[in-house]
Amino acid sequence: MIPKLKSHPITKWLNKNGWSYHKHQIDTLKEATKGYDILLVAPTGGGKTLAGFMPAITDLIEKKYKDNFLHTLYISPLKALTVDVQRNLVQPINDQSLNISVETRTGDTPYAKKRRQKTSPPQMLMTTPESFALLMSDENAEDYFQNIKFLIIDEIHTLINSKRGDLLSLNIARLNELASNYTKIGLSATIKDKENVLNFLSQNKQKKIIDIPSLNKPKVEILMSDNRIPWSGHMATYSIKTLYTKIEKADMSIIFVNTRAQAELIFHNLWLENKSNLKIAVHHGSLEREIRRKVEQKMSKGEIDCVVATSSLDLGIDWAKIDLVIQVGAPKGVSRLLQRIGRSNHTLNKPSKALLVPGNRFEYLECLAAIEAIKENIIDGDNLKSGSLDVLAQHILGVACSNPFDKTKLYKNVKTAWPYRKLLVEDFTQTLEFVQNGGYSLRQYQKYSKIGLNKNNHFAIKNKTVRQKYKMNIGTIVESYMLKVKLRNKTLGNIEEWFIEGLTEGDTFLFGGKVLKFLNISEKGVHVALTKDKRPKIPSYAGGRMPLTSELASQVKKLISKKQSLNSYPEQIKDWLILQSQKSILPMHDKVLIETFPRKMGNKKRHFLICYAFEGRNVHQTLGFLISKRMQRYNLKPLGFVATDYALAIWSMKEINDIKSLFNEDLMISDLYEWLDDTPLMKKNFRDASIISGLIERKMPGLTKTSKQILFNTDLIYDVLKKHEGNHLLLKVAKEDSLNGLISIDRLGKLMKRIQNKILFKKLEKISPLAVPLLLEINRETINKDELNEYYLEEFENELLREIGFS
């Protein structure tokens, strides 16, 4: 039965405000009423959230339920978003005097309110995947959820293919068992693989995708500065003056950057430039929550002219007042760029406006490629990941906390969670054993098991403490080792421990827009003082580097290989590429260009190999490792390598001639594993898995070193396990995460296949123009920080430019 819309209270509310329905809102209502689960795919803005809630509101109005029960569960990846959506939803509900209770529940919700929500639930509850998992681990979960009618998952595209998504999928699978008849609605931004997201959402036969293509393509341009575009670096500070005039003209602008270091630097430089006293703020994940909230509030009130932000503002909340979005640095992915651009003019009928500011010449090409990709509707695909076993371990304990379970039944249920559909029974059993007592071949911990079989042959928790502990350690997001930044008694935010470790007393650095002087470290955190210095001594700290997506990478390559479009580029870029085509050759779309040339490094002659694979930094880094291993074997004496998003550069003592066998497909996978075992990445992933799986508890990390009762250093555990229990669950998880994550083994494999017989080899006498940025990068990474100053870099740059004949 299709509900009558004319007399619908929401219709009245819309009309009163001079609005009307979008077609997809009506479609969603119709299809959901017919009993379909729905994935609504739409660009940012345009009433996606209302569309998601329409079926639930309508059901509540029409059925006039008498009992008090949880009717609709809304899950969003962001706490802030739950609050925002609740606020927006309450407007029509209050306006039309609908008797519907809407509440949020997150980690920030006061304890008393949480307790009340359990005994007397609101009809609509807005929450996060973690809080949902917590509710599901409750003893009364079945009573609580059994009558649920709607599950709405917002920004679902950000959750899939992540450990958070794994946890959510497991809990949805279990919810399917507790509640029989409810409708699922997923809300997503534009994505490549919609079917996959739909399957993640629903295992029902009746399910549908409602797809609204964007009518207005955003207007994206590259900012042209009066200064020349640098050859290397990412900070884009050359553009500050031009950037400032743009934000001066705009009503309210948001500047997105890729790293926190960039955010701090751009923010700092804008302030130095701030002649008109614009109100400029900075927003990134390291800042204290209070400080971030303040910025967000000021934004929604329109009290700020410009905010410099990292991905911390990528998602969610609507700020309609923003009329200009600026992306500083390469966009790295089309979908992410679109999401960011979507922050401006948050309505469907007007095109968004955005400016891109490349940090260097390769990034200029990347920006151009991204604009092309938007025109051609190319979207990034996701690397599909299968469900992680550390998350499964957490879930198994959660289920036991809620209710004793039968092993076979739980296995069957877990397999209905989309990421776990291929889960082997052996892996499930190993995970279950791990939860029971650590899963060691020495059955030493059996008498301390957290869960064990009860008289019905079901697995149950041994005591209540297990449940209490479980609740304190839930979640799949593991913070890196962070230290609090303390200015006298005030906490400014958190900073990576490794960054601080490199500082000496008196060093100055940028944080939260201030130049701070490092004093010392204590149990309380990093103590700093304000300083009058305008230029920080330690220029930046990295972190949050994004890998280039393969779609965008291939778009960049396509662009370079198109000679005819050279003329439309700015002079500097055009000259560079034309020179490349004269001195060497331009990369071709279906081939991989490899150049070799001799050049002195310091006072010694070295041989360089540059491979322009355009596969992203992580792939190049792994490739670099494997190729230099092979070079060692050929006695070519490799000395080092540097990887960027676009290419890999290796240098050696001896000349490389047999390129083909060097890039032969039969990669030394055993070499890779051996190398991987000792990488910090593997140890980091192991640490994360130890925490997620519950091997060690979540506590404030980083502050433990000063205490003698030291918490477990997971590196020690890692070493011991590797030696005695090589097949342990957590080692498996860490290895898989490392291979699939940063190392991108998948992409590497594809690259090696592609590269066979398609190498475009150029043996050169001198450095090529395209290699100049790489040589600069080599210098940045290999020269001692004390010697590395701007003057030196400039000298070196000029030297290289003379060599390629660039005046």
Angle at 567 (CA atoms; ends 566, 571), nearest 5 degrees: 95
Q: Identify the DSSP state of 2.
A: P
Q: Shortest gap between Cβ of 430 and other proteins (angstroms)?
A: 14
Q: In this chain, which of 448, 534, 669, 794 binds other proteins, going by CB under 8 A?
A: 448
Would you count residue 761 as binding other proteins (CB under 8 A)?
Answer: no
Would you count residue 530 as binding other proteins (CB under 8 A)?
Answer: no
Q: In this chain, which of 602, 708, 757, 791 binds other proteins, going by CB under 8 A?
A: 708
Q: In this chain, which of 180, 489, 504, 603 binds other proteins, going by CB under 8 A?
A: 504
Quote the tokens at residue 635.
């006695």
Q: Shortest gap between Cβ of 728 and other proteins (angstroms)?
A: 8
Stretch that binds other proteins, among 275-283, 568-576, 712-720, 765-773 (CB under 8 A): 712-720
648: nearest Cα among 657, 659, 640: 640
722: nearest Cα among 735, 738, 710: 735
Q: Shortest gap between Cβ of 688 and other proteins (angstroms)?
A: 16
Would you count residue 465 as binding other proteins (CB under 8 A)?
Answer: yes
Stretch that binds other proteins, among 201-209, 282-290, 433-441, 628-636 (CB under 8 A): 433-441
Number of residues in contact with other proteins under rule CB under 8 A = 40
Q: In this chain, which of 350, 712, 789, 802 binds other proteins, going by CB under 8 A?
A: 712
**Alpha-carbon distances of 306 from 225, 235, 239, 354, 461, rounded to whole Å:** 19, 18, 16, 14, 52
Quote the tokens at residue 564.
């005819």
Residues numbered 724 to 753 that lie near other proteins (CB under 8 A) are 724-725, 728
Q: In this chain, which of 51, 466, 560, 729 binds other proteins, going by CB under 8 A?
A: 466
Would you count residue 442 as binding other proteins (CB under 8 A)?
Answer: yes
126: nearest Cα among 63, 168, 79: 79
The dihedral sign for the CA sequence 670, 672, 678, 684? negative
What is the x/- site pattern for other proteins, positions 643-682, by CB under 8 A? ----------------------------------------
**Residue ranges of the alpha helices (H) in 111-162?**
111-119, 129-136, 141-145
Stretch that binds other proteins, among 157-165, 366-374, 610-618, 704-712 (CB under 8 A): 704-712
Q: Identify the DSSP state of 322.
A: -
Quote the tokens at residue 398.
């959660």
Q: Which is nearer to other proteins, 405 or 434 (CB)?
A: 434
Decide: 435 and 393 in contact? Cβ < 8 Å: yes
Tell me the residue ranges of DSSP E strands in 431-489: 451-453, 459-461, 482-487
Per-residue burial over 79-118, b = 16 or more CB atoms within 10 Å of its CB, e = otherwise: bbbbbbbbeebbebbeebebebebbbbbeebeeeeeeebe
Q: Shortest gap between Cβ of 466 and other proteins (angstroms)?
A: 6
Quote the tokens at residue 297.
């509030």
Q: Which is nearer to other proteins, 448 or 673 (CB)?
A: 448
Would you count residue 790 as binding other proteins (CB under 8 A)?
Answer: no
Q: Identify the DSSP state of 676.
A: H
Q: Which is nearer to other proteins, 164 or 728 (CB)?
A: 728
Q: Shortest gap between Cβ of 704 and other proteins (angstroms)?
A: 8
For residues 189 and 197, give the distance between their C-alpha atoms in angstroms, rounded to a whole number.
11
**Alpha-carbon distances of 59 from 62, 76, 262, 612, rounded to whole Å:** 5, 21, 48, 57
Would you count residue 67 as binding other proteins (CB under 8 A)?
Answer: no
Would you count residue 528 as binding other proteins (CB under 8 A)?
Answer: no
Q: Which is nearer to other proteins, 134 or 721 (CB)?
A: 721
Decide: 440 and 725 in contact? Cβ < 8 Å: yes
**Residue ranges of the alpha helices (H) in 342-474?**
361-375, 389-402, 407-415, 425-437, 464-472
Would you count residue 716 as binding other proteins (CB under 8 A)?
Answer: yes
Binding site for other proteins (CB under 8 A): 437-440, 442, 444-445, 448, 450, 465-466, 469, 501-502, 504-505, 520, 694-697, 704-708, 710, 712-713, 716-717, 720-721, 723-725, 728, 784-786
